């Protein structure tokens, strides 16, 4: 194992955290009370020093050839180690008093899960709320880069889009190039959509600070808000629609967004099977909610459908109404999730399509055992390993749900509360659980429960199967 190249990459990630930390540090200096200036100053100094030390000490090793196991290990370290640096400013929050609670908040933001210790966000200062939103935005960017650089090339869980230019990589490329090239392609799109979303929401009369935080949370599908009320309670309908559109775009596959920037390729996006399924699920769910549930306006039902299918978890219904929805009806879209290679969580629509095709084929064979019907997706023939990978991921997902529910049960959480929390954590959509009628808040959880939720959020963001690699003997032999 070339530790130097891995440390260099971690140092680069730490520098990204330090760079973003400058913005809330400046905001703390502009606050007349200087309430958060001390904790942001110390956190910025420590993060800059640690990241700079990692970069300088391993600079000569940055061009080692990338190995698959090293890319997987970097993913694990990014989601587990770097949140400690991001957590430092949160210790100055009035509602966060321990390092574990701060780490919980940082992990939730970076994994775009949306869970928060802050029961009353508006009681916190602007620097803390801005830092939380910026971490969500950064976590969304990391998610896209790792999805393109690691998950798709290795076909983890059946997610393979070999025809995409984003996924074309040189097997002999060095480690920083394997991660740097996707970053250079994705950042302009991600950043431009963020800027455009901010300007649109701001134009609808929302304050600049609220518009910025909502934009950062929506494009990353984290669902973190600056007010504890429903969005319908304080946002004009135009701003609500803008937040929903940003969440929709955030849950779109990044290769499709890339196509939109290369000439007139809109028709290719509209012909994409996963995209059409994504739109159909949103429209169908919204229509059923409008007709089946009482007193739900059509626009609110559609906006809430986008929020759930993108796993953002914003509440577009009047205050308290989402808690009246059947919990299973609320959780189903979160389980399916958004499109593959996006910031959304969940099983992903592409896996659902692959599983549906396989089930349909098996049912057809029951009637016509000798028939042969090759299954295709986006012009590519689906092979047995595609179906095996999708079923394996689904099985591991069910296994993690079972283990998570059992662990929460051991610490006194009832089954009715445990399974939405576990599903929300694994699908990185815990923001929606805060709008349900669940008496157990994240801030009221003991240390053991917070640790379990943290592990589940990280597991969900790393697509689960990567964690299974950590339990193999070959991984530990490589580590030695």
Q: What is the pLDDT of residue 207?
A: 94
DSSP SS3 for 87: helix
- Is residue 20 a part of any domain in this protein? no
- Is residue 419 a part of any domain in this protein? yes
In the chain, how many domains are there?
1
For 449, the domain range is 385-479
Report CA 342 to chain centroid distance, whole Å.
8
Give the C-alpha separation, 200 to 110, whole Å: 25
- Is residue 411 a part of any domain in this protein? yes
- Is residue 464 a part of any domain in this protein? yes
**Phi/psi-derived region of residue 325, left when phi > 0, alpha when psi is between -120 and 50, beta in every other case:** beta
Give the C-alpha separation, 311 to 221, whole Å: 6
CA dihedral for 417, 420, 426, 431, sign (positive or negative): negative
- Is residue 428 a part of any domain in this protein? yes
DSSP state of 174: B
DSSP SS3 for 277: helix
Give the C-alpha separation, 157 to 148, whole Å: 14
Q: What angle do CA 66, 176, 143 make, to 5 degrees?
A: 95
Helix (H) or strand (E) holding 381: strand 380-381
Give the C-alpha separation, 75 to 151, whole Å: 10
Helix (H) or strand (E) holding 29: helix 3-30
Q: What is the pLDDT of residue 229?
A: 87
pTM to 2 decimal places: 0.93
- Is residue 212 a part of any domain in this protein? no
Backbone angles phi, psi at 207, to 5 degrees: -60, 150
CA dihedral for 435, 439, 444, 446, sign (positive or negative): negative
Are the C-beta atoms of 4 and 64 separated by less than 8 Å?
Answer: yes
- Is residue 199 a part of any domain in this protein? no
* pLDDT tens track, the chain, 480 positions: 567 778 888 999 999 999 999 999 999 999 888 888 999 999 999 999 999 998 888 777 666 666 767 788 888 899 999 999 999 999 878 889 899 999 999 999 999 999 999 888 888 889 999 999 999 999 999 999 988 888 776 666 556 554 455 555 666 667 777 788 888 889 999 999 999 999 999 999 999 999 999 999 999 999 999 988 889 989 999 999 999 999 999 999 888 887 776 655 666 677 788 899 999 999 999 999 999 888 888 999 999 999 999 999 999 998 878 888 888 999 999 999 999 888 998 889 988 888 888 787 777 767 666 656 667 676 677 777 777 888 888 888 999 999 999 999 999 888 888 999 999 999 999 998 888 766 667 888 889 999 999 999 999 998 776 676 666 666 666 655
Q: What is the pLDDT of residue 272?
A: 80
Task: Name the β-bridge partners of 5.
Answer: none
- Is residue 54 a part of any domain in this protein? no
Residue 295, classified by CB atoms within 10 Å of its CB into exposed (0-12), middle (13-18) or buried (19+), is exposed
């Amino acid at each position: 194992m070339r530790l130097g190249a891995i440390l260099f990459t971690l140092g680069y990630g730490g520098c990204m955290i330090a760079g973003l930390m400058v913005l809330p540090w400046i905001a703390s200096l502009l606050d007349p009370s200087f309430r958060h200036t001390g904790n942001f100053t110390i956190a910025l100094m420590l993060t800059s020093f640690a990241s700079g030390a990692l970069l300088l000490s391993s600079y000569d090793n940055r061009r080692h050839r990338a190995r698959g196991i090293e890319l997987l290990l970097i993913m694990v370290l990014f989601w587990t180690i770097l949140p400690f640096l991001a957590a430092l400013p949160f210790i100055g929050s009035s509602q966060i008093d321990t390092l574990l609670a701060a780490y919980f908040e940082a992990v939730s933001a970076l994994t775009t899960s949306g869970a928060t210790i802050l029961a009353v966000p508006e009681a916190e200062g602007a620097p803390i709320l801005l830092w939380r939103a910026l971490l969500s935005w950064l976590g969304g960017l990391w998610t896209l880069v790792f999805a393109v650089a690691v998950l798709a090339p290795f076909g983890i869980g059946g997610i393979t889009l070999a025809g995409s230019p984003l996924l074309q990589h040189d097997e002999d490329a060095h480690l920083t190039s394997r991660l740097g090239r996707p970053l250079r392609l994705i950042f302009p799109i991600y950043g431009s959509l963020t800027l455009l979303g901010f300007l649109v929401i701001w134009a609808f009369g929302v304050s600049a600070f609220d518009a910025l935080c909502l934009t950062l949370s929506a494009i990353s599908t984290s669902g973190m808000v600056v007010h504890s009320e429903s969005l319908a309670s304080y946002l004009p309908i135009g701003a609500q629609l803008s937040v929903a559109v940003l969440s929709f775009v955030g849950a779109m596959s990044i290769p499709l967004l890339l196509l939109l920037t290369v000439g007139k390729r809109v028709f290719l996006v509209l012909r994409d099977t996963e995209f059409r399924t994504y739109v159909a699920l949103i429209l169908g769910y919204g229509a059923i909610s409008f007709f089946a549930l009482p007193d739900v306006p059509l626009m609110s039902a559609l906006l809430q459908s986008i929020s759930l299918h993108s796993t953002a978890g914003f509440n577009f219904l009047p205050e308290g109404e989402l808690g009246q929805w059947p919990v299973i009806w609320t959780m189903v879209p979160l389980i399916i999730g958004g499109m593959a290679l996006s910031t959304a969580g969940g099983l992903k629509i592409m896996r659902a399509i692959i599983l549906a095709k396989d089930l349909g084929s098996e049912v057809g064979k029951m009637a016509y055992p000798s028939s042969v019907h090759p299954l295709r997706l986006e012009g590519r023939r689906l092979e047995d390993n595609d179906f095996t990978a999708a079923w394996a991921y689904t099985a591991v997902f069910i296994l993690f749900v079972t283990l998570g529910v059992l662990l929460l049960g051991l610490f006194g959480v009832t089954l009715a509360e445990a399974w939405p929390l576990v599903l929300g954590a694994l699908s990185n959509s815990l923001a929606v659980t805060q709008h349900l009628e669940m008496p157990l808040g994240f801030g009221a959880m003991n240390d053991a429960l917070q640790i379990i939720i943290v592990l589940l959020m990280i597991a969900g963001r790393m697509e689960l199967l990567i964690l299974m690699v950590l339990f193999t003997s070959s991984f530990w032999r490589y580590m030695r």
